[in-house]
Amino acid sequence: MKKLTICLFALIAGVANAGTIEMKVYGLVCGFCAQGIEKTLRKNPATADVVVSLENKLVAVATKEGADISDAELTKALTDSGYDVKGIVRTQRSLDAIRAELKQ
C-alpha cells in the first residue's frame, strides 16, 4: 500500500511538471523577435505560459494541465514566425524555476 501511494504521488508530480517544453531557437537577437514568438505561442489553446530568453536562445512553453503541443506543431509555429528550432526537450522544470534561473 505504501509503495502504491509513493508511486501515485510520483505519477501525479510527474504529470504536474511534465508540461514544460524547452526549445533552443536560432535567430533570437532582439525583443521584437521574442515578442512575435511569445504572441504566436500564447495563441495556442494548450499554452499556459511562455518564457523567452535571448541570452540562452531559449523558448520555454508551459502547457495547461492535460494538454500538450506536439514537436511538429511547435516547430511549425517557430518556423512560421521566421526562426529556426534547433532542439526540443520536455523537462520537469517549472517556468517559475526557469525565470528564477535566468535572473541569476
Partner 1 sequence: MNLLKYALAGWLLACASVAQAKPIAFSHGTTVMAEYGAGTMTEAQVFYAPKYFLSLGGGYLELESDIDHRRREITYTRLNYLVKRWNMADAQANVFVWGGAGQAYVSELNEHEFAWNAGAQVDYETRRVYSSLKTDLHHASGFEHRVDTLQLGIAPYKHDFDTLATWFVVQGRQYTGVIHEGTEWALLLRLFKRGAWVEAGVTDDGKLQAMAMVNF
Binding site for partner 1 (CB under 8 A): 26-40, 52-55, 57, 80-84, 102
Least distance from partner 1 to the Cβ atom of residue 7, Å = 39
Q: How far is the CB of 52 from partner 1 (least distance, A)?
A: 5
- DSSP per-residue letters across 5-65: HHHHHHHHHHHHHTTEEEEEEE---SHHHHHHHHHHHHHSTTEEEEEEETTTTEEEEEEPT
C-alpha cell at 77: 509555429
Contact 90, 75 (CB under 8 A): no
We find the least distance from the C-beta atom of residue 34 to partner 1, in angstroms, to be 4
- Residue 48 near residue 19 (C-beta atoms within 8 A): yes
CB closer to partner 1, 7 vs 100: 100
Nearest distance, CB of residue 30 and partner 1, angstroms: 7
